[in-house]
Amino acid sequence: MYLSKYFLPVLKEAPREAEIVSHQLMLRAGMIKQQSAGIYSWLPLGLKMLRKVEQVIREEQNRAGAVEVLMPTIQSADLWRESGRYDDYGKEMLRIQDRHERDMLFGPTNEEMITDIFRSYVRSYKDLPLNLYHIQWKFRDEVRPRFGVMRGREFFMKDAYSFDLDEPSSRAAYYRMFVSYLRTFDRLGVTAVPMRADTGPIGGDLSHEFLILADTGESEVFCHGDTMKLPVPDRNIDYSDDAAIEGIFKDWTSNYARTDEMHDENLWNEVAEGDRMNARGIEVGHIFHFGTKYSEPMGAKVTGPDGKDHDVYMGSYGIGPSRVVAALIEAGHDENGIIWPDSIAPFDVGLINLRVGDEAVDTACVDLYNQLTNAGFDVLYDDTDGRAGGKFALADLIGLPWQLIIGPRGLKNGEIEVKHRATGERENLTMEATMNKLTAWQKDVNERFGG
Ligand code: P5A
């Protein structure tokens, strides 16, 4: 992408209402624009990041056996009357009437709708297990939307729903999603620690939140330090091996790990002092096992091997990709701007032309741009005629992993400057050495984080 042809409306200063660093940086880097309280447009750079996060989540859901659907944002109130949640949900639900004065709502979540889909088609235990997910906008009329897309009113969610014949197989489905979340956040280049959680209005008896550690997180986290050292299963994981998957779940849940909401001082005191980790975190995922809470009132049954009808056992599994984008920034930034993880950034490389109009420099930049693009790199080429200082500041602000700086002086020696955003390391390399270095980096990133 040529910057001159892109739409990257950066701001010199963040608007005063932006309280936390991810909100400030997302506004300054031209990623989002507020349209009203808690409702945002995603501008090209923000959208690119959102799509990349979404894609990693999708790949890991598919790998774990979930199947993608797409449900509407607008739902009929009648479904929610069946489960009894229409009245319970209160003011957080945005209620709408259509022209026939039928009660509708903008979905805050989809347990009812997916249960309705299930009961319309599935009759037999032979069609189970089943896990359906979608990635769709949600609306919750939060009293105090704040922190930008971190706590929006309209936000993006991946929500998956599992259906099983009985409690043990339903738990196995929960464990599969738990493990797929470990892999998802690992591929996103962050550590998200699973913690025992309250089930809240979603209901159920087994629930975990996944938190990315960051000083600005809303939740206080109490966790045994060993949890941070546990290995995350690699891409060859066998999701059909229930015992192995349960083993991973047990490893990750055997140590104390809770947020302030569920914190238990007595249990915490049993953790050796040197092992206690007290930090702050951002909830980016939340999974629930709730059995027959929705299937029973809504009549979602399957015939079992015994020939009898059984209420189907369910769980639901959420990740907020829009919140994840903000959380990655909370976890990775410095005073100059964003530092995206190597594994996921809107572009891999920022290519900076220091002397636009100089034929040799222009040619070298275009050549390198084409070479990189052909080799599968996503490149943002700063071909604008701005000052060098402004270009460097922009490159640091938007935080791409690599900056390639090309100017007349270096070119005379056949060299360009290569800067790694995260470490700040710079070196002068030939074009060939640059290609080799980036290719090796790309290979390593694909091996560690690829699908
Ligand atoms: C699980 C999937 C649910 O809604 N029903 C379907 C269950 N869970 S949840 O914890 O309420 O939300 C799941 C994830 O969605 C993100 N999220 C938000 N992101 C931005 N702004 C919000 N206001 C917001 N509310 C929830 C979080 O990532 C959360 O973990």
- Ligand 1 centroid–CA 146 distance in Å is 15
Ligand 1 binding pocket includes 323 (Cβ within 6 Å) = yes
Q: In this predicted model, what pLDDT tens digit does every residue of 391-416 receive, in sequence order?
A: 999 999 999 999 999 999 999 999 99
- Ligand 1 centroid–CA 320 distance in Å is 6
Q: In this predicted model, what pLDDT tens digit does every residue of 42-98 receive, in sequence order?
A: 999 999 999 999 999 999 999 999 999 999 999 999 999 999 999 999 999 999 999
Nearest CA to ligand 1 atom 21: 151
Average pLDDT, the chain: 96
Ligand 1 binding pocket includes 197 (Cβ within 6 Å) = no
Q: In this predicted model, what pLDDT tens digit does every residue of 252-277 receive, in sequence order?
A: 999 999 999 999 999 999 999 999 99
Ligand 1 binding pocket includes 152 (Cβ within 6 Å) = yes
- Ligand 1 centroid–CA 176 distance in Å is 19
- Ligand 1 centroid–CA 235 distance in Å is 26
Nearest CA to ligand 1 atom 10: 286
351, β-bridge pairs: 381, 404
Q: Identify the pLDDT of residue 216.
A: 83
Q: Identify the pLDDT of residue 202.
A: 64
Class of domain 7-337 (CATH, top level): alpha beta
Q: Best mutation site among 154, 323, 325, 329 for ligand 1, i.e. most ligand atoms within 8 A of its Cβ?
A: 323
Nearest CA to ligand 1 atom 3: 318
* pLDDT-based confidence at residue 419 (cuts at 50, 70, 90): very high
Contact between 197 and 348 under an 8 Å Cβ cutoff? The reply is no
* pLDDT-based confidence at residue 17 (cuts at 50, 70, 90): confident
Ligand 1 binding pocket includes 53 (Cβ within 6 Å) = no
Domain ranges of the chain: 7-337, 349-449
Ligand 1 binding pocket includes 318 (Cβ within 6 Å) = yes
Cα angle at 107 between 90 and 177, to 5 degrees? 105
Q: What percent of the chain has pLDDT over 90?
A: 93
Q: In this predicted model, what pLDDT tens digit does every residue of 161-191 receive, in sequence order?
A: 999 999 999 999 999 999 999 999 999 999 8
Q: In this predicted model, what pLDDT tens digit does every residue of 126-150 receive, in sequence order?
A: 999 999 999 999 999 999 898 999 9
- Ligand 1 centroid–CA 286 distance in Å is 7
Would the pLDDT of 203 be above 80?
no
- Cis peptide bond N-terminal to 341, omega within 30: no
Contact between 93 and 141 under an 8 Å Cβ cutoff? The reply is yes
Nearest CA to ligand 1 atom 12: 318
Instruction: Using the atom order of ligand 1, give the atom closest to the CA of residue 157.
Output: 15
The shares of helix, strand and coil residues in the chain, as percent rounded to the nearest 5, are 40, 30, 30
137-141, 239-243, 447-451 — which is least confidently predicted? 447-451
Ligand 1 binding pocket includes 434 (Cβ within 6 Å) = no
Would the pLDDT of 201 be above 80?
no
Would the pLDDT of 310 be above 90?
yes
* pLDDT-based confidence at residue 200 (cuts at 50, 70, 90): confident
Assigned CATH topology for domain 349-449: Rossmann fold (3.40.50)
Distance CA 184, CA 200 (A): 24
**CA distances in angstroms from 428 to 58, 333, 367, 401, 438, listed in the order given:** 39, 25, 18, 17, 14
Would the pLDDT of 121 be above 70?
yes
Ligand 1 binding pocket includes 382 (Cβ within 6 Å) = no
Ligand 1 binding pocket includes 227 (Cβ within 6 Å) = no
Element (H, E) at 242: helix 242-253
- Ligand 1 centroid–CA 414 distance in Å is 51
Q: And the tokens for 214?
A: 């960051």
Q: Identify the pLDDT of residue 41.
A: 98
Ligand 1 binding pocket includes 151 (Cβ within 6 Å) = yes
DSSP secondary structure of 336-349: TEE---TT--S-SE
- Strands, DSSP E only, in 226-361? 257-259, 276-291, 301-303, 309-311, 313-319, 333-334, 337-338, 349-353
* pLDDT-based confidence at residue 450 (cuts at 50, 70, 90): confident
Instruction: Please list, residue by residue across 234-271, b when 16 or more beta carbons sit within 10 angstroms of its beta carbon and e when fewer do.
Output: eeebebeebeebbebbeebbebbbbbeeeeeeeeeeeb
Would the pLDDT of 29 be above 90?
yes
Q: Identify the pLDDT of residue 199.
A: 75
Would the pLDDT of 204 be above 70?
no
Ligand 1 binding pocket includes 159 (Cβ within 6 Å) = yes
Nearest CA to ligand 1 atom 25: 151
